[in-house]
Amino acid sequence: MPVASIATPRWDGPLPTPEEAAKMIDHSLLRPELTPAEVAAGLETASEYRTASVCVRPADVAAAVSALTGSGVAVGTVVGFPHGGATTAAKVFETAELVGLGAQEIDMVIDIGRLRGGDVAYVQDEIAAVVRAAEGRTVKVIFENAYLDDEQKAAGYRAAEAAGAAFVKTSTGFAPGGATAADIALMRRTVSPHVHVKAAGGVRTLDALLELHRLGATRFGATATATILDDLRGRLTGAAPLTDDAPTTGY
């Protein structure tokens, strides 16, 4: 089911520089139908705009590392994606393999059903195992908030912090709902300042990015990277805003 774009009014506060905004974005290349040529084009977009990272499918990590070496764009990938239902051992193996291929950031999906069932200890232990397997690389924990109530969310966020994760993250982009203002606010007030918040799912406009950044998100999973950053450049130079024609699934 497509995740709707976040509807927000036009931002009327101070604007970041294009370079600052780009370093908030993980350019997402996770849709299952992407061809190698489409992935390569996406890597070129990330390099051109100097995003914080790309987030690619596991099978694309080696190509992304080769293409982006020296660009300043980190290579990220996903573990247990998108359902989170793999065993802990499988997630650990996947993490170790991807780190060995050069991945610098790992976005892992929790066992959603375990958290919904109240087994927070299992969730925390699994996150900690992935953090250890990542050997110091950035680990972002995806909660798929659309399936959780606020009590479950907060328990999961606290578990991620206790397990040593660097980020808590809203969603995969493949569930019925994505990032919301309420969830970003809940994430930010639940975890300590040293744990970052990543918004993913429906962040397709500059206005949405800036509003969620105001609420505490510091990183954004996005397919509409060019639309967002070109809109920012246009506003800074007085040009007309662009139309968002980005895909509507997978962030």
Considering the candidates 107, 111, 183, 231, report the single residue annotated as catalytic.
Answer: 107
Catalytic residue of the set 140, 153, 169, 183: 169
Q: Give the DSSP letter string of 59-81.
A: GGHHHHHHHHTTSSPEEEEEEST
Q: Which tens digit of pLDDT belongs to each residue from 174-211?
A: 999 999 999 999 999 999 999 999 999 999 999 999 99
Residue 7: the pLDDT is: 76
List 23, 153, 198, 231, catalytic entry: 198
Residue 8: what pLDDT?
Answer: 82
Active site residue 198: yes
Sign of CA dihedral 171, 173, 178, 179: positive
Q: List pLDDT tens digits, range 89-112.
A: 999 999 999 999 999 999 999 999
CB 150 within 8 A of CB 187: no
Domains of the chain: 18-237 (3.20.20.70)
Here the contacts of 157-162 (C-beta below 8 Å, separation 24 or greater) are 157/186, 157/187, 157/190, 157/191, 158/190, 158/191, 159/120, 159/123, 159/124, 159/127, 160/124, 160/127, 160/191, 160/195, 161/191, 161/192, 161/195, 162/124, 162/128
The segments of the chain whose pLDDT lies below 70 read 1-2, 240-251
